[in-house]
Homo-oligomer: A and B are copies of this chain.
Amino acid sequence: MENTLYLPEIREMLAEQDTAALQEFCKALHPARTADFMGGLESTEVWQVLQYADPSERVEIFSYLPEATQLEIVRTEGATEVAALITELASDDRVDLLQNIEKPLVQSLLGLLPAEDRRDILRLQAYPEGTAGSVMTTEFAKLAESMTVQEAFQELGRQVEDLETVYYLYIVDEQERLRGLVSARNLISAINKPNMLLQDLMDTQLIAVLAGDDQEQVAQKVARYDLLAIPVIDEQNHMLGIITHDDVIDVIREEAVEDAYRSAAVAPLGQGYFDTHLLSLTWSRGIWLAVLFFAALLTAIVLKQYEARIESWAWLSVFIPLIISSGGNSGNQSATLIITALTLQEISFRDWWRVVKRELAMGLLLGSGLALCGILSTYFLFEETRSFPGIAIIPLTLLLVVICGTCTGSILPLLFKRLGLDPALMSSPFVAGIIDILGIVIYMNIAVILLTSI
């Protein structure tokens, strides 16, 4: 959402060292907007501007900068200033940031941090990417169940400065084990009962996740239960951190991008289109393109068996792309419908028979429709397709190929799910590859049987 409208003004303010104007620029807008307005500046200029912001604003604006700018600032600016900034960053954000920095620099920065921050970073870094632990923040509101409502308000007033959110207050015992939860909403509704104990107010029907849980499952839980944040615990119910709604939105968007890439056979990039190096982008694509090439080579091997037939009836080869694309498209539709339904947990493997019946029925309907299109369109193309048996080949093939497409496209993702694999692996290009081969076998056999038997 970079906005280059005010770049000349910002540069002028910097050149003139116009303190008042720059302070106002850092303060007047939402920090995300301030970050957007600096989108066209060099990272050193951004850092100069940030010196005019007060520390809490500075870290806010910094956290909304593009990752590439953040990394450049950390790499090029003075270690002491950068360390001060890192101390202020949210605990999950700074771990993400340091992950992309060279090891020696990380070591020297860690040495400049207070011991507590250093420990926190090292602990969070230990969780593998994609787990709940890797996206959680360790800053959350902690209260004891023996507190009264009034004490809770006072305690919150003290804790609030260091916290990202105070909308869920977690009740823990002396061993930091999670006992319950009081929402700010419930606390406010009890404002006229100042002596009520939190243990009488707290909710004990807790929805939590384990630190090792997959971040996609976490996102689904938060979405299903309409939560603002979800606590992350260990096997002994110790409270480790929370995952907040904004990180959940990021996870959902990230997973949607990954699914889109997978459906186009691109290995996940982990970065933006222009931020990814040309060679690593080529690799992400090339590896799958090569796999698909060798899968498609099977079509050539199969077709080679029919080479003599094609020599006799060359007009048959004209319809090869039409037939395999019809099969591929119908299979692709089925695969996408089933993968989406599996992801949203609308269906599971045990529904396979219901799915197959539906897809068979749809294949029959769609195949008949395309067969009709086939009769009409081929009639005008070829002499050979105007009388029997030529007229029957294309429609009959289309009918069978589409049925075969819908069935294969729906069964393969279910099968992958059953085998514990990601059903999305069986998405378009692979389904299309398999159906291509089946389509050619169906087409050639129908053609040979009809043309030779009559």
Binding site for B on A (CB under 8 A): 1, 28-30, 32-33, 153-154, 156-157, 160-161, 163, 165-167, 184-185, 188-189, 191-192, 205, 207, 222-228, 245-246, 248-250, 252-253, 256-257, 259-261, 263-266, 272-274, 278-279, 281-282, 285-286, 288-290, 292-294, 296-297, 299-301, 303-304, 307-308, 310-311, 314-315, 317-322, 324-326, 329-330, 332-333, 335-341, 344-347, 351, 354, 358, 361-362, 365-366, 369-370, 373-374, 377-378, 381-382, 402, 428-429, 432-433, 436, 440
Say whether B256 contacts A252, CB under 8 Å.
yes
- Contact at A322–B299, with CB atoms within 8 Å? yes
CB distance from A31 to the nearest CB of B (A): 9
Say whether, besides A188-B166, A189-B160, A307-B315, A205 and B321 are in contact (CB < 8 Å).
no
Number of copies: 2
Partner of A336, one of B248, B266, B303: B266
Query: Among B167, B289, B310, which residue has its beta carbon within 8 angstroms of that of A330?
Result: B289
Taken together as a complex, chains A and B put the C-alpha atoms of A344 and B66 apart, in Å, by 13
Interface contact A300-B286, CB-CB below 8 Å:
no
Contacts of A33 in B (CB 8 A): 205
Q: By CB atoms of chain B within 10 A, which of A32, A381, A436 has the most? A: A32
Closest 10 CB pairs of A and B: A264-B336, A317-B317, A256-B256, A226-B246, A299-B321, A311-B314, A273-B341, A157-B191, A303-B318, A160-B189
Contact A246 B259 (CB under 8 A): no
Q: Are A338 and B273 in contact, CB atoms less than 8 angstroms apart?
A: yes
Task: Verify B282–A297 contact, CB threshold 8 A.
Answer: no
Complex Cα distance A223/B1, Å? 12
Q: Are A326 and B362 in contact (CB under 8 A)?
A: no
Known pairs A223-B246, A264-B336, A294-B373; list 20 more (Cβ under 8 Å).
A160-B185, A160-B188, A260-B260, A260-B263, A263-B428, A265-B333, A273-B346, A273-B347, A274-B341, A274-B358, A278-B361, A281-B337, A286-B369, A289-B370, A290-B373, A293-B377, A300-B318, A303-B317, A307-B315, A428-B428
Provide the bound-state CA to CA distance between A351 and B225, in Å.
41
Contact A297-B322, Cβ < 8 Å, known A205-B29, A310-B317: yes
- In the bound complex, do residue B252 and residue A249 qualify as a contact, i.e. CB atoms below 8 Å apart? yes
